[in-house]
Structure 1
């Protein structure tokens, strides 16, 4: 069976999976009408009705499926909106094009979810960049920020550093020697231009702008909470960058939990210790970090 075969593809980056029990109609524009009952756990706590999963850069479908399967088992009554981020969003895709691509996801969120029933899962810098684009449109559509939803930050957010960015990009390159060398040269040139532009032009770079938007002090609602899952062995996202962002979020009103893994690779924390990873998600959703 093909990876993500139980998802309906809306466009090249947005896919949607609805619960099997849900009577639904999905259009090419992302409009979704549904009738489903609210799922509850023993103890009376409501589970998420919608999960927004923002994948890491150019992740293979078979790798993303580990997380969609995780959520299907953990919260079977939830709708899953998957948005796949990539290198293009950083290097050559214009902001207008990015906004158009995520519009279907925003439309579904606006029509069928609110922050009290929504769980957002952000993965790496690509997921953070996608979050930023969706948040802008969501706020324009609803008047509310996406940052008030319960949010899992997996290996994010980092900063724009040439070495770490190159490491991330290199993992999306083809294995064949000639295409890999050609694209390495192209990506290297583009990164150098971006680096030079950031040096000569005042203002925030791409990732600093995303980090600032995530911690917009006017957006922190009462009870809004986040969990940062990260590692001391991540070669793309520095522990200090994650901890700094988490500390700032806490100072600005978010309830924050830091879950630091030892030795796990970039976005590899679930693979290393699935029990701890799942526990972190569940405790964040219910706000039971001290239990």
Structure 2
């Protein structure tokens, strides 16, 4: 299923530009691992409704990309810098402040966003200005089984495919955690949790979390802990903790809540 109106910039990187695009308006949408286009389009439609003048930079995520060394992941995300840098240049020349919104889902989305932010800071020597960040079912805490659950969400649950997927994920995670133990890499979850509050990477103090107590992949208490960390650092924080929605499926349960959250973040109201 094709993404209607999007141009492909690189594998898993797409850009939508509306006919009446407003200078400086951009949504960066980082989706969960293995997200199907038919689900992604529900969030794209919501953003088009909320901010029809905004371009949308879509960062899809696959398991294969998540297991690469960090340097390789940052190289792979480099094509996503071009529309961001172009937008910032247009805003600067027009003397119009940019309005960029970051919307991320699960480990796949926060991973894509983190590497893009690192690439942009390396290029610009400045943090990316954002009107705010929306974290859907993220960030999770560090730990073998939490990482395992996040990876398994991308695979079919039916037998025997689930057995093959489980074996493959365990093998990958053993290698990953050995690399972490040897000091080659920082634990991914710790890396992400710090990055999205890093003022070297992000010029913003507004963040919203949507999570659920029924989520089997992301522990809602990890999300709340990160929200409290953000608040302690002086961020404006909004939390929406639901009772019974599955992982990355909160829009289906309460679309009006989701729309209201986006409107709140775009209008830059006090949180």
**Do Structure 1 and Structure 2 share a fold, with TM-score over 0.5?**
yes
- 1:170 is matched with 152
Q: 1:262 aligns with which of 216, 223, 243?
A: 243
- 1:75 is matched with 51
Q: Aligned pairs, how many?
A: 264
Q: 2:71 aligns with which of 96, 99, 110?
A: 96
- 2:94 is matched with none
Distance of aligned partners of 1:146 and 1:37 in 2 relative to their CA distance in 1, 3 Å threshold: closer
272-281 or 109-118, larger mean C-alpha shift = 109-118
Q: TM-score, normalised by structure 2?
A: 0.87
Q: Kindly indicate whether the alpha-carbon contact (under 8 Å) linking 1:164 and 1:235 is maintained by their aligned counterparts in 2.
A: no
Q: TM-score, normalised by structure 1?
A: 0.81
Deviation at 1:78, TM superposition (A): 0.9
- 2:83 is matched with 108
The CA RMSD measured in Å over matched residues stands at 2.5
* d(CA) in 2 for partners of 1:110, 1:135: 12
* d(CA) in 1 for partners of 2:136, 2:119: 23
Matched, 1:235 2:216: yes
* d(CA) in 1 for partners of 2:232, 2:171: 39
* d(CA) in 2 for partners of 1:109, 1:151: 16
Matched, 1:224 2:205: yes
- 1:182 is matched with 164
Give unpaired runs (5+ residues) of structure 2. 92-96
Distance of aligned partners of 1:269 and 1:219 in 2 relative to their CA distance in 1, 3 Å threshold: same
Matched, 1:214 2:196: yes
* d(CA) in 2 for partners of 1:251, 1:160: 20
SS at match of 1:55: strand
Give unpaired runs (5+ residues) of structure 1. 22-35, 39-47
Deviation at 1:276, TM superposition (A): 0.6
Q: 2:41 aligns with which of 61, 65, 68?
A: 65
Distance of aligned partners of 1:219 and 1:193 in 2 relative to their CA distance in 1, 3 Å threshold: closer
* d(CA) in 2 for partners of 1:7, 1:148: 22
- Greater Rg, structure 1 or structure 2? 1
